[in-house]
């Protein structure tokens, strides 16, 4: 047996199983060494308070970094820590947060959660990165529908987790069929392959209309053999009232000027009386192009790589209190903290744990504790909202921040 074959023969795709994550197998070895050294000192069960905050947020395609993010992965962290002797306080999933804000506080013997830091951060960094970019794309679309078409960009083992995070970020749907498990209908139109194999666009669109269930929107892909304008008219003539939309999938096509193509397709559909036909755009989109194309008249967007390939949020975990005494590394404020939030302007206020709720100086109202207690002694003490509720939480904050119109 070669050395790299040592281990689990059943690991066909080299995927870590959920029970292995739960058992702490996804861990940087230096935490194992830390535990060995702490045990040597008899300090492995020292009671500590650790806090998690983002150092910075991912880069925006507009330049610079995003100023706010959307939190995701908290439910996973709570389930990871369930059964450990810890108390867990956190902003809930779907919270808009800023870099530097302590979004989570964990209390308990270090041995109970220290070695899980790798996986705790992994959940939060990866999923919050996806939710954050999803929300920024949704805002860029001016609230118009945005669907996640990008699960092909991820390792399949995490596709559902990534889709879920994109929905928490406010997206309107996703394309993978497993999302039915979390209460959403998968969304999708048709690939070029269908039209190429059928050999003729009209034949393909009509077959689609005849074959797929009635509740599936009839959205014809219109850029396979001819230009978008010609095929959009053909599709409208072929399906008439039954056609709900046309999809243009080549924003960086040879002709290049996608905004002009959208205006032209809209015009040609309108003058023929097909005002009901929506224009759906996909293919290499990001927050910059979505904003431009939404202004040009596109009605909905399929976004893939930009969301599923989102940079992680660089959350870090820091010990801030040891046996009840404030103690932290340089650059980190010591002592356990509480986070309050103004219900009016949504501003956060960080205070010493146990301090009274501050009054918002701008709104003059009493702030509310932003932390939710998720675990007490390792027992889950809150209910996890549905993905639809988390999505609504994100969207309602974006509306309150003036980033989305209240109608959507």
Binding mask 287-326 for Zn ion (x = CB under 5 A): ----------------------------------------
Distance separating alpha carbons of residues 244 and 89, to the nearest angstrom: 46
Nearer to Zn ion, 18 or 344 (CB): 344
Taking CB under 5 A as the binding criterion, the range among 54-62, 260-268, 296-304, 363-371 that sits at the site for Zn ion is 363-371
Nearer to Zn ion, 78 or 342 (CB): 342
The DSSP output letter for 375 is E
Nearer to Zn ion, 156 or 343 (CB): 343
Q: Which residues pair with 280 in a beta bridge?
A: 247, 300
From the CB of 403, what's the least distance to Zn ion, in Å? 17
DSSP string, 343-404: TTT--EEEEETTPPPPBPTTT-SB-EE--EEEEETTEE-SPPPPHHHHHHHHHHHHHHTTSS
From the CB of 358, what's the least distance to Zn ion, in Å? 10
Residue 361 phi/psi, 5° resolution?
Answer: -65, -25
Handedness of CA 156, 160, 166, 172 (dihedral sign): positive
Q: Are 400 and 343 in contact (CB under 8 A)?
A: no
Nearer to Zn ion, 17 or 366 (CB): 366
Binding mask 339-358 for Zn ion (x = CB under 5 A): ---x-xx-------------
Nearer to Zn ion, 200 or 362 (CB): 362
Nearer to Zn ion, 158 or 345 (CB): 345
From the CB of 366, what's the least distance to Zn ion, in Å? 10
From the CB of 163, what's the least distance to Zn ion, in Å? 34
107 Cβ partners below 8 Å, 6+ apart? 47, 48, 49, 50, 86, 87, 88, 89, 336
Please, what is the angle between helix 74-81 and helix 117-140, to 10°?
Answer: 160
Among 35, 38, 350, 363, binds Zn ion (CB under 5 A): 363
Q: Which residues pair with 96 in a beta bridge?
A: 70
- In the block, tokens 């830390």 appear at 34
Taking CB under 5 A as the binding criterion, the range among 103-111, 165-173, 215-223, 362-370 that sits at the site for Zn ion is 362-370
Site for Zn ion contains 368 (CB under 5 A): no
Q: Which two tokens stand for residue 164?
A: 């879920």
**Three-class DSSP category at 300:** strand
Taking CB under 5 A as the binding criterion, the range among 196-204, 264-272, 327-335, 338-346 that sits at the site for Zn ion is 338-346
Q: Are 319 and 65 in contact (CB under 8 A)?
A: no
From the CB of 345, what's the least distance to Zn ion, in Å? 3
Compute how many residues bind Zn ion; rule: CB under 5 A: 6
Q: Exposed, middle or buried, 69 (CB in 10 Å: 0-12/13-18/19+)? A: buried
Among 362, 366, 368, 381, binds Zn ion (CB under 5 A): 362
275 Cβ partners below 8 Å, 6+ apart? 269
Q: Which two tokens stand for residue 337?
A: 């903290």
CA-based nearest residue to 138, from 250, 291, 313: 291
**Three-class DSSP category at 38:** helix
From the CB of 342, what's the least distance to Zn ion, in Å? 3
From the CB of 343, what's the least distance to Zn ion, in Å? 8
Nearer to Zn ion, 292 or 347 (CB): 347
Binding site for Zn ion (CB under 5 A): 342, 344-345, 360, 362-363
């Amino acid at each position: 047996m070669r050395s790299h074959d040592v281990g689990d023969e059943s690991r066909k795709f080299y995927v870590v199983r959920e029970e292995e994550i739960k058992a702490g197998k996804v861990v940087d070895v230096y935490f194992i060494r830390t535990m060995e050294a702490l045990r040597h000192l008899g300090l492995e069960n020292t009671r500590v308070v650790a806090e998690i905050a983002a150092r910075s947020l991912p880069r925006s395609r507009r330049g610079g970094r995003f100023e706010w993010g959307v939190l995701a992965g908290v439910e996973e962290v709570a389930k990871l820590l369930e059964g450990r002797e810890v108390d867990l306080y956190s902003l809930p999933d779907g919270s808009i947060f800023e870099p530097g804000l302590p979004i989570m506080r964990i209390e308990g013997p270090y041995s109970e959660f220290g070695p899980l830091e790798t996986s705790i951060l992994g959940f939060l960094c990866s999923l919050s990165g996806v939710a954050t970019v999803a929300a920024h794309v949704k805002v860029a679309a001016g609230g118009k529908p945005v669907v996640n078409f990008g699960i092909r960009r991820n390792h399949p083992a995490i596709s559902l987790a990534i889709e879920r995070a994109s929905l928490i970020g406010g997206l309107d749907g996703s394309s993978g069929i497993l999302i039915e498990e979390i209460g959403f209908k998968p969304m999708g139109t048709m690939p070029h392959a269908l039209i190429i194999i059928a050999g003729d666009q009209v034949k393909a669109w009509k077959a689609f209309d005849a074959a797929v269930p009635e509740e599936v929107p009839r959205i014809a892909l219109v850029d396979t053999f001819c230009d978008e304008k010609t095929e959009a008219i053909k599709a409208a003539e072929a399906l008439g009232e039954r056609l709900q939309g046309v999809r243009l999938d080549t924003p960086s096509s040879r002709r290049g000027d996608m905004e002009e193509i959208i205006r032209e397709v809209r015009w040609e559909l309108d003058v023929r009386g097909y005002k009901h036909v929506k224009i759906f755009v996909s293919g290499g989109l990001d927050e910059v192009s979505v904003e431009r194309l939404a202004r040009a008249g596109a009605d909905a967007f399929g976004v893939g790589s930009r969301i599923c390939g989102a940079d992680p949020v660089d959350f870090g975990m820091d010990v801030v209190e040891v046996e009840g005494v404030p103690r932290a590394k340089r650059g980190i404020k010591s002592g356990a903290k509480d986070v309050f939030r103004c219900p009016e302007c949504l501003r956060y206020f960080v205070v010493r744990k146990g301090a009274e709720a501050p009054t918002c100086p701008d709104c003059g109202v009493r702030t509310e504790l932003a932390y939710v207690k998720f675990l007490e002694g390792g027992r889950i003490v809150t209910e996890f909202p549905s993905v639809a509720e988390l999505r609504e939480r994100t969207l309602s904050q974006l509306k309150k921040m003036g980033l989305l119109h209240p109608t959507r």
